[in-house]
Amino acid sequence: CVSSSLDFPKKTYDVWSSSNAPSTYDSTSSAVLDKFWTIQQVKLSHFSLKSRFIVRVGRFVAVTLGGIGAVSAAGVYFLDIPIGESIDSVLPKGWQIFHKASPAIERKHVILPLEPRLLKPLADLAAADSKKEDECKLAEHKEETPATPVSVSNKPIRTPTLEEREESIKAALVSAERRVKTATKAKALSMDAIDEHIKTLRNAIQGGLSGDWESVRNANERVGNCRAEDKAEENDARNYIDMLKGILKESSPHLNGHPIIRSALKSAAKLEKELDEMAYSIKMVESEQIFALEYADLVQCARGRFAEELKAVLPAFDWDGETKMKKAQLNALLAHAHLRLDQLRREVIESRMREESRLECALKAEMAKRDKVMEGEKKMSEENEAGLLRRLKKVEEEHAKRLDQMVRAHRELSKIEKEQEVKEAITVERKMHSRKLAMAQSKVDGMEEALKRRIVLDAENRRSKHTWLACHNLMESIEYGRKGGKTMEKRKKPVGEELQKLLEVSEGDSFVSTLVGTVPQRAKREGEFTRDDIDSRFEKVYLVARRVSFVPESGSTIWGRIASWIRSTFTLSFPLKETDRVDWMSTDNILLLDTARSLVKKKKYLEAAKVCELLKGEAKDVASSWSSSVRSLEESLFLVRLLTAHSALQSVRSTY
């Protein structure tokens, strides 16, 4: 509205000068227009001032409200935690940068989602890799900077538990085994290198000057490297074994008699033995190496000796390796060679014999030493055996004593337990017996009570049967009346006597006495019409009521009655079906009488009486007596049926 008013086209006319009006306008019309525009301008000017004020005020209010809203939203967001969290969940992830950019604003209980980090797979700890790691560790150890001092905490040292000690023993054992394996492998490599060296050396020596001495040098270098490595490995392995032994020594007082200690000690001894065997094997191989190294000198000596002997046998011959020998020279050389061979053989035999004798002496000495050692061991073993036997005897005696004590204690315990069991069994049996006795007692009491009641029930049953007979008698009296009566009135039998008899028979039964009291006095004094009489009466009622069915309640003249008679004669009655729907309140008397007749034929007297109650006019008066007789009869019969049912029930109730 404000903008539209502002956009309102302004006329250029001045407020007070109408002379500026265009000449095309008429003076009067221009004056009017002028006035109009002046008024509009005044209005506009007023309006613009107002609108401007309003706009200004509006702007101020809007800005103020906006500022307040923003501040409150920020405050709610940052301080009100639930709303802030919900906003965090809704806003995009970029908003979270704001949190990172504004560390000054502390958000309580705000947990930003963590970015999942992929974990790198763990390094494979194979034996070959461990060797490299150890080499690296050795290299790093050299370059290691001095260790920084570790601050000792004042917290109390917690003694490790038995499980922790076991775990530490197992870990030490596993690491020691691993180290020994590594050392064994290194020693195997060293042995291979030494064998290789010996082989190459022999080949080079046999090759002479043209031998491959480069390979010998390389093999020698390799031997050196392998030996250094295997020594380092051996030291490591021994250190680990020592560490294991230290742990076992420390843990043995705590794990007294634990099988892990024994097995760990055996394992440590086995590992040490393995290392020693490998070291011995290396020594043996090294001795061969030494022998191989001396081989060259021996070969050289042998060659020199051969040259000397050759000179001694053939001083004139100068063999340079290429000159051919003469036959005589060769024979002489051969003879010398044979002689030398015999000599060497003799020397070999002599040395062999010397060696054998030396061996025999050494063997004998060894045997003597062994016999001594064995004797000493035997003595020790005998002493140990005797000591063991003594200890065994002691232990057996102690064991026998303990067994006796245990057996006695067990016997006592079992005796006590058995006595307890016997007591409990006796108690249970007593309870059961008393319960059974109580049950039997209650049964006997019940039987006594039942027998007592039997007599009462018998009397009750007899009485109920008499009552039932009296009720049937009463029913017959009411239904059939005096069978010898010639008229309806004579056939009516007063039931006073029967009721009296009934009261006598059912003495003390309040139900019977109450019902007998409700029987109408008329029935007691005069009796009721019989069913047959009711039927015959209805025929008359039907005829008479049909004749007067068109006579209203207010009566009619004689001519009206005659007309009703004639009309009823010519009125036909159509039978009703059970499925026909009839409005009984608005039907005519003819239909009602026909319905009542059909009901009477079906022996539904009460229903017929109800239908007769719906009759109108004179017909109702005609049928009134019959309806009341039917009602009275049905009432009496109903009471008698009730009494009969009561007596039957009493009879059933008193049956056992």
Note the residues at the interface with another protein (CB under 8 A). 489, 537, 540-541, 544-545, 548, 555-558, 561, 618, 621-626
3-state secondary structure of 477: helix
Task: Name which of 544 and 637 has its Cβ closer to another protein.
Answer: 544
CB 644 within 8 A of CB 465: no
A 10 A CB-CB count for 559 gives: 8
The whole-angstrom distance between residue 232's C-alpha and the CA centroid of its chain comes to 56
Distances (CA, A) of 344 to 240, 301, 348: 54, 16, 6
Residues sharing a CB contact under 8 Å with residue 200, sequence separation 6 or more, in sequence order:
212, 215, 216, 219
CB of 471 to another protein, least distance (A): 29
Tokens of 147: 């260790």
CB of 567 to another protein, least distance (A): 16
Task: Name which of 523 and 541 has its Cβ closer to another protein.
Answer: 541
CB of 640 to another protein, least distance (A): 24
Task: Name which of 38 and 556 has its Cβ closer to another protein.
Answer: 556
Residue 516 sits at the vertex; the CA angle it makes with 514 and 522, to the nearest 5 degrees, is 130
Task: Name which of 76 and 488 has its Cβ closer to another protein.
Answer: 488
* DSSP run (H or E) holding 643: helix 618-653
Task: Name which of 175 and 556 has its Cβ closer to another protein.
Answer: 556
Task: Name which of 408 and 540 has its Cβ closer to another protein.
Answer: 540
Distances (CA, A) of 113 to 88, 93, 100, 120, 410: 11, 10, 13, 21, 68
CB of 508 to another protein, least distance (A): 40
CB of 618 to another protein, least distance (A): 8
Residues sharing a CB contact under 8 Å with residue 281, sequence separation 6 or more, in sequence order:
187, 191
Residue type, 589: N
Cα–Cα distance, 175 to 182 (Å, whole number):
11
Cα–Cα distance, 97 to 88 (Å, whole number):
11
CB of 531 to another protein, least distance (A): 16
Task: Name which of 592 and 623 has its Cβ closer to another protein.
Answer: 623
CB of 574 to another protein, least distance (A): 24
Task: Name which of 540 and 602 has its Cβ closer to another protein.
Answer: 540
Token pair 């390094």 is found at 123
CB of 526 to another protein, least distance (A): 12
CB of 625 to another protein, least distance (A): 3
Cα–Cα distance, 106 to 84 (Å, whole number):
12
Task: Name which of 130 and 624 has its Cβ closer to another protein.
Answer: 624
Cα–Cα distance, 314 to 40 (Å, whole number):
162
